[in-house]
Structure 1
Amino acid sequence: MTDPDQSELAVISVAADKDPKSVPFYKYNQPASQPAQFMSYNRVTPDKEPDPDMASYNMQQQQGGFVMKEDRDNRPIGSYDEDVGLGFCGWILTIISYIIVICTFPVALCICIKVVQEYERAVIFRLGRLLPGGAKGPGIFFVLPCTDEYRKVDLRTQAFDVPPQEILTKDSVTVSVDAVVYFRVSNATISVANVENANQSTRLLAQTTLRNILGTKNLTEILSDRENISHTMQSQLDEATDPWGIKVERVEIKDVRLPVQLQRAMAAEAEAAREARAKVIAAEGEMNASRALKEAADVIAMSPSALQLRYLQTLTSISAEKNSTIIFPLPIDLINNMMSGKK
């Protein structure tokens, strides 16, 4: 069935408002002033009024295609289409399956009864449709032969490594960064019905998200602000994977590898900074020592007895050393007297 144009849509809407039974196939709920971009369909038959509670899908054109999204709530596609049902053939096959189970009882119990662990859930499809009631488990659940299929989903927290990504930072430096992501399945039904492979999709999305986030940072921010980067990546991943039934719990940046030339330059810069600090510390030490010596000289000049005491301390320290030759310094006063006598 092709989509009607604006005039046909207006005619159908007016006719349906006057007499819903006069519209044999479909009623377009969207006003005629908004054609084609957002349209939802509710099935209308001559013997059945339109169901206002029936969930519908919006078709929105994005990037040259159409994206199906839910209208009312976040339940997965097909989990609430009970009014559509299995159809006549579907009910016939279901009844036949029940008859087979009854006829082969109790042997059929080995095939029909399944068990899932405490950390698992089973998503059951009957003739391609999700069974109402959501995922089954933990414990025992029942499946019909030939008509039912099920998939087990692990709800435990899982972890995977993001491969090293070559990233050009904001200040034009190429670095290689890897990370680890911890996630779990929060809704087993959605993770099966809305995405083909939730784990693989999360892995690929983590790689692109890491590249996008680090591309807006400079090298200094990447090296010093890993925690903030991890929180930002975790929030973006969690928001993007929510429609897949995935909960991203934690993201950690593992390693940041720099080019060899940049490592050498940073090492030389760090060494020069350390040498400069060492020279400053040595100069400050000499300055403090000079001040202390000046203060000591001033004290000795004011008290001659302090000079004699210092002389005795020097002799004591010399005698304590095990030297074969000992030089006794002469008092300065004696030297001055000798020099004055010669004159």
Structure 2
Amino acid sequence: MEEINCSASRLADKATGEAPGVCSFLITAISIFMILLTFPLSLICTIKVVQEYERAVIFRLGRLLKGGARGPGIFFVIPCVDSYTKVDMRTLTFDVPPQEILTKDSVTVHVDAIMYYKVSNATSCIANVDDYGKSTRLLAATTLRNVLGTKNLGDILSDRESIAHDMQVSLDEATDPWGVQVERVEVKDVRLPQNLQRAMAAEAEAAREARAKVIAAEGEHKASRALRHAADVINESPAAMQLRYLQTLNNISAEKNSTIIFPVPVDIISLILNRKESVVPPTPVAITPH
């Protein structure tokens, strides 16, 4: 960090095209003499304090003071010669206002996002850009439109993490010369037109109905196969048919019916047919439970 600050100071010196002149040394010497003359009252004007989360960028007669930003703690300034600016190094939050965006598939949506950023180099954020906070916020709104303009509506709704990552990388590269680091970007809300919402709701409902019909058809297919297998098992054992009759009779009697009608067992009819006797239609037998 100190090397970066020293480089910024050297760049500032090169930009001016000249080193501090005799006038600058003379004014500085007079100011220091006045501080010594009015000591200790001059300490009120010369001692400054910055908090743990702050840094002070000092300019001496318009030139960036070598050594980089000061702080945290106590630092000294020369009255009438030095001017300083405090920079907050904490993470800041910016709520990107809703942006009207035309997606790649020609759908107009309103999207807003949240950006978390902080100052990583106090000297650069003061010396390289007029207002680092305003510049970063404007860039975030522009980047949001640029990134989402290359995406389809389906990608915007389903792939927000990838969009947020692309925005963070793009913003971090652009704000690095300003001494600003973009830590995180999140897409907060995507608002669609009313007619598009109704169309998507109808499409989703149709898809759910189609899936329900497919599931019902699969269930009927499995049930028919199970019934076929049960019929084969019962056909192999005549006694199983009688047990099935008794089970059905038990289920019917549990429903509190006043009259129970059941047919004559099939094996009796088969016996009659085998003897080639006259076939008499089976007479239902009625049993009334007590």
Does the pair score TM above 0.5?
yes
Cα offset, 1:197, TM superposition? 0.5
Tell me, in whole angstroms, the C-alpha distance in 1 between the residues paired with 2:28 and 2:219.
93
Instruction: Please identify which structure carries the higher helix content.
Output: 2
Question: Stretches of 4+ moved more than 6 A in 1?
Answer: 80-83
* Aligned residues of 2:96 and 2:141 also touching (Cα < 8 A): yes
1:101-140 correspondence to structure 2 within 5 Å: 101-140=35-74
- The structure whose RCO (Cα within 8 Å, separation 6+) is larger is 2
Cα offset, 1:339, TM superposition? 7.9
- SS state at 1:340 partner: coil
Alignment gaps of 5+ in structure 1: 1-72
Percent identity (aligned): 64
Q: Do the aligned partners of residues 297 and 118 (structure 1) sit closer, same or farther apart at CA in structure 2, a change above 3 Å counting?
A: same
Cα offset, 1:326, TM superposition? 3.4
Tell me, in whole angstroms, the C-alpha distance in 2 between the residues paired with 1:339 and 1:253.
86
Alignment gaps of 5+ in structure 2: 1-6, 283-290
- SS state at 1:156 partner: coil
Shifted more, 211-220 versus 96-105: the winner is 96-105
Q: Do the aligned partners of residues 76 and 285 (structure 1) sit closer, same or farther apart at CA in structure 2, a change above 3 Å counting?
A: farther
Shifted more, 189-198 versus 326-335: the winner is 326-335
* Aligned residues of 1:76 and 1:189 also touching (Cα < 8 A): no
Structure 2 match to 1:340:
279
Which of residues 242, 261, 264 in structure 2 aligns to 1:331? 264
Cα offset, 1:76, TM superposition? 7.2
Structure 2 match to 1:13:
none
Structure 2 match to 1:3:
none
- SS state at 2:139 partner: helix
1:218-233 correspondence to structure 2 within 5 Å: 218-233=152-167
1:73-92 correspondence to structure 2 within 5 Å: 77-78=11-12, 84-92=18-26
Structure 2 match to 1:264:
198
Tell me, in whole angstroms, the C-alpha distance in 1 between the residues paired with 2:226 and 2:278.
32
Q: Do the aligned partners of residues 273 and 212 (structure 1) sit closer, same or farther apart at CA in structure 2, a change above 3 Å counting?
A: same
1:278-297 correspondence to structure 2 within 5 Å: 278-297=212-231
Structure 1 match to 2:286:
none
Cα offset, 1:332, TM superposition? 3.8
1:192-207 correspondence to structure 2 within 5 Å: 192-207=126-141
Which of residues 74, 89, 112 in structure 2 aligns to 1:178? 112
Q: Do the aligned partners of residues 197 and 339 (structure 1) sit closer, same or farther apart at CA in structure 2, a change above 3 Å counting?
A: farther
RMSD: 2.4
In the alignment, is residue 300 of structure 1 matched against residue 234 of structure 2? yes
- SS state at 2:112 partner: strand
